[in-house]
Structure 1
Amino acid sequence: MKDLVIDSHQHFWNYNSEKHSWIDDEMAIIRKDFLPEDLKVVYQENKVDGCVAVQADQTLEETNFLIDLASQNNFIKGVVGWVDFRADDIEEVLKHYSQYNIVKGFRHIVQGELDHNFLLRPDFINGISKLEKHHFTYDILVFPHQLGAVLEFVKQFPNIKFVIDHIAKPYIKDGFYEGWAALMTEIGKCPNVYCKISGMITEADYKTWTYNQLEPYMQLVLNAFGSNKIMFGSDWPVCLVAGNYTRVKEIVTTFISKLSTQEQAAIMGNNAANFYNL
């Protein structure tokens, strides 16, 4: 059986200016609908076999929207939805979603929370503790200043599988590296924590980023997590503000070309399949 190329991170939406207010003027190019029929063409051009659709909106409607899209498009291999982990009925909500095999895990847009230690709040921790029972994963979306909390957070749940989205969004544009690198190295030592090599060009300068600028960040992630715990993700359509799908995929394939074919296959699909149980 051939190794599948799996995009571990992309989004769909019906554009709504209120709901998607985070799409600022600099990102105006993505102020429109992005749906499976659009992505299907992109995947055919770039030899990608399937994907994991990740929530972009913090509502249960969003989770249901992704489940619905997946039921109509078999290249969507898994869904990472949203639930309110702080809710009193979190146990029932997770039980409800556990009946859908396509739902692999959940995410909260922690990068948007003002509290640096949001992940460590007792009500949030309580909700996360319920994931293990249903074998759900959790995607960690944070900025570098929140990585200290991430380290404390993941250590509390050694049996839950976590993945850091977009290499924790280091400030590539400003050249910040050291603090991010030190914490990512520590987090990478946790056997249950993976990392997506995604979302890098949008953390660099949209117009002037170069491969050489991104390489040290990818190298640190490879060193910290190892080839068996990192996965390719495109962050389509957000990536379109700073490039195109082909370029995004090439960044990763170029970087991993020095590795063995087995390691390359792991990063381009097998790790995502294992992590999300696709």
Structure 2
Amino acid sequence: MIDAHVHFWNFDPVRDSWITDEMNAIQKDFSPKNLIRTYNDLQISGCVAVQANQSEEENEFLLTLAEQNEMIKGIVGWIDLKNPNLQGRLNYWNNFKKIKGFRHVLQAETAEFILDQDFIAGVKQLKDFGYTYDLLCYHNQLDSIIKMVDQIPDQPLVLDHCGKPDVKSQDLKSWTANIKILAQNPNVLCKVSGLLAEADWKNWKEIEIFNCFDVIFENFGCERIMYGSDWPVMLISRPYQDWFNLVWKYAERFSETERKLIFGDNAKTFYKL
């Protein structure tokens, strides 16, 4: 099994200011050694490490961790997609085979940024190097994401955290409508990850998460969904095992072949692990 979405960091209160005081459970360092026992217990063989800091130094940091820790099977790094010398930077990072794709924190950006033609042109260049692109956005940005994706129909894309639906309020109507549209592009996959951060951290109910899963599985199907934990961010709500068990419980309705796709094979194929 593969965990398609984890983060590692040496906590810096200035750089990591998005980790607020109410998230104090994760205001500390997290490294692969913190995951080894959990992965062994659950028979998870590796992970994809995803950028948490928007700098090329983040790529170096994750590559160093990957050299030291066999569990890191691939890296989703960061690169300035609007850099006039983007091709040169992509050529450079292409020397490091653990880097499988890139991500920008679009949830912090405006619709104008998402639909900026220089930015979209940058995403288009990724395909030439065999790179994937992770889409990170809130549910109320999905309309812009759809317009962006329409301009890059052949780029391998994955939607992080189910597009961050409003799990807490359960107001899922517009999110559902947009997921249906986005999923019509066969090159877009989806990670079932990150939903605990969008829920009432301490008081969410299983049905609230499963309502979101229903929409994702109906539209993407088991062949375009990959399991991810969003560890350590999800620790603001529950231990790792609780999230894994929740996804596994939902997936019990599927065949063994379909579960293998969700819990590993789709990530291996998408990220070329």
Query: Same fold judged by TM-score > 0.5?
Result: yes
Q: Structure 1: which amino acid aligns with 2:53?
A: D
1:117–1:146 Cα contact (<8 Å) kept:
no
Provide Cα deviations, 1:147-166, integer angstroms capped at 9, x if missing partner: 11111111222221000000
Q: What's the counterpart of residue 86 of structure 2?
A: 90
**1:225 maps onto 2:220 in alignment:** yes
Give the 5 Å matches for 1:3-152: 5-113=1-109, 115-152=110-147
Q: Cα distance, 1:118 vs. partner?
A: 2.2
Task: List gaps (5 residues or longer) in structure 1.
Answer: none
Match of 2:242 among 235, 247, 251: 247
- Tell me, in whole angstroms, the C-alpha distance in 1 between the residues paired with 2:124 and 2:103: 14
Residue of 208, 211, 216 corresponding to 1:216: 211
TM-superposition CA deviations, 1:69-98 (whole Å, max 9, x none)? 111111100000000101111111111111
| Structure 1 letter corresponding to 2:18 | W
Contact kept? 1:116, 1:145, Cα under 8 Å? no
Aligned residue in 2 for 1:200: 195
Query: 2:185 is matched by which residue type in structure 1?
Result: C
Query: Which contiguous aligned blocks of 4+ residues in structure 1 show a shift greater than 6 angstroms?
Result: none
**Aligned residue pairs, count:** 273
1:19-57 residue CA offsets vs partner (Å, 9 max, x unmatched): 110111211010100001112122112221100000000
Q: Which amino acid aligns with 2:243?
A: V
CA offset digits 1:151-195 (Å, max 9, x no partner): 111122222100000001111112210000000011111100000
Q: Distance in 1 between matches of 2:104 and 2:159?
A: 12
Q: TM-score, with normalisation over the residues of structure 1? A: 0.96
Q: Structure 2, unaligned stretches of length 5 or more? A: none
1:260 is matched with which residue: 242, 248, 255? Answer: 255
In structure 2, distance between residues paired with 1:270 and 1:207: 32
| Cα separation, 2, equivalents of 1:272 and 1:129 | 21
Q: 2:264 aligns with which of 269, 272, 275?
A: 269
Please give the alpha-carbon distance, in whole angstroms, between the structure 2 residues aligned to 1:58 and 1:208. Answer: 32
Q: Determine if the alignment matches structure 1 residue 157 to structure 2 residue 134.
A: no
Query: Does the 8 A contact of 1:55 with 1:80 survive in 2?
Result: yes
So what's the TM-score if we normalise by structure 2? 0.98
Three-state SS of the structure 2 residue aligned to 1:163 is: strand
Question: RMSD value over aligned CA atoms?
Answer: 0.8
Q: Displacement, 1:124?
A: 0.5
